[in-house]
C-alpha cells in the first residue's frame, strides 16, 4: 500500500479553504445581480441612479469609519503602518464639517421652495442631519480622540 503524497494533501487543503469563500462571494454577487435585474433598468430622471450611488457611498463610509475606529479588528498590521492616524483624524473631522455644510446648503433649496407641501418639515430634517454631522465631528475631535 502506497503512502499518500504530502503535496497532494496540501493542495487539497488549500483548494477547500480558498474555494469555499469564493463560492460564497459568487453566490452573493449572483443574488445581488438578480435583485438588480428584478427592480428594472436604472433610468435617469427617476432617482434610482443617485439612490444606488448614495447608498453605496454611505455603506463604504460606514465601513471606513468602522475600520478607522476599530483598526485592530478590521485592518492588518501592515496596513496600519502605512497611514498616519493623526492625518486621518483631521481628514475625518473636516469631511464631516464639509458634509454638514453641504447638507445645510441643500436644505436652503427646500426652505425657499414655498410651493412644496411640507417644505418646512423637509427643511428641518436637513437641518437636523447637518447638525448631527457637525455634532459627530465635534464628538470625534473632543471626546473619542481623548479616550
Domain of residue 88 covers: 84-147
One domain for residues 31 and 50: no
pTM of the model: 0.53
Looking at residue 21, its pLDDT comes to 60
Percent of the chain with pLDDT over 70: 68
- pLDDT tens-digit readout, 79-117: 778 877 778 788 888 888 888 888 888 888 888 888 888
Residue 48 has what pLDDT?
Answer: 63
Whether 56 and 115 map to the same domain: the answer is: no
Exposure string of 41-51, with b = 16+ CB inside 10 Å and e = fewer, is eeeeeeeeeee
- Please tell me the predicted confidence (pLDDT) of residue 46: 59
67 with 125, same domain? no
- 55 and 101 inside one domain: no
Q: Please state, in angstroms and as integers, the Cα–Cα distance from residue 91 to each residue in 41, 64, 86, 87, 117, following that order.
A: 36, 12, 9, 6, 38
> Are both 101 and 144 inside the same structural domain?
yes
The reported pLDDT for the residue numbered 5 is 53
For residues 147 and 127, give the distance between their C-alpha atoms in angstroms, rounded to a whole number.
Answer: 29
CA distance 85 to 90: 9
pLDDT at 59 over 80: no
Q: What average pLDDT does range 20-44 have in this prediction?
A: 70
Q: Are residues 29 and 53 in the same domain?
A: no
DSSP secondary structure, 11-33, as one string = HHHHHHHHHHHHHHHHHHHHHHH
- Are 33 and 55 members of one domain? no
Residue 40 per-residue DSSP state: -
Q: What is the pLDDT of residue 11?
A: 53
**Percent of the chain residues topping a pLDDT of 90:** 0
Is residue 55 located within the same domain as residue 23? no
* Domain count across the chain: 3
What confidence score (pLDDT) does residue 17 get? 54
Domain identity same for 130 and 96: yes
Amino acid at each position: 500500500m502506497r503512502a499518500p503524497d504530502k503535496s497532494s494533501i496540501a493542495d487539497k487543503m488549500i483548494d477547500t479553504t480558498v474555494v469555499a469563500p469564493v463560492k460564497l462571494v459568487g453566490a452573493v454577487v449572483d443574488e445581488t445581480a438578480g435583485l438588480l435585474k428584478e427592480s428594472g433598468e436604472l433610468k435617469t430622471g427617476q432617482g434610482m441612479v443617485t439612490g444606488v450611488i448614495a447608498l453605496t457611498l454611505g455603506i463604504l463610509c460606514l465601513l471606513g469609519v468602522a475600520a478607522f475606529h476599530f483598526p485592530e479588528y478590521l485592518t492588518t498590521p501592515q496596513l496600519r503602518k502605512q497611514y498616519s492616524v493623526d492625518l486621518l483624524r483631521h481628514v475625518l473631522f473636516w469631511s464631516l464639517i464639509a458634509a454638514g455644510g453641504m447638507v445645510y446648503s441643500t436644505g436652503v433649496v427646500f426652505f425657499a421652495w414655498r410651493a412644496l407641501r411640507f417644505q418646512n418639515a423637509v427643511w428641518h430634517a436637513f437641518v437636523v442631519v447637518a447638525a448631527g454631522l457637525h455634532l459627530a465631528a465635534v464628538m470625534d475631535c473632543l471626546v473619542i480622540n481623548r479616550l
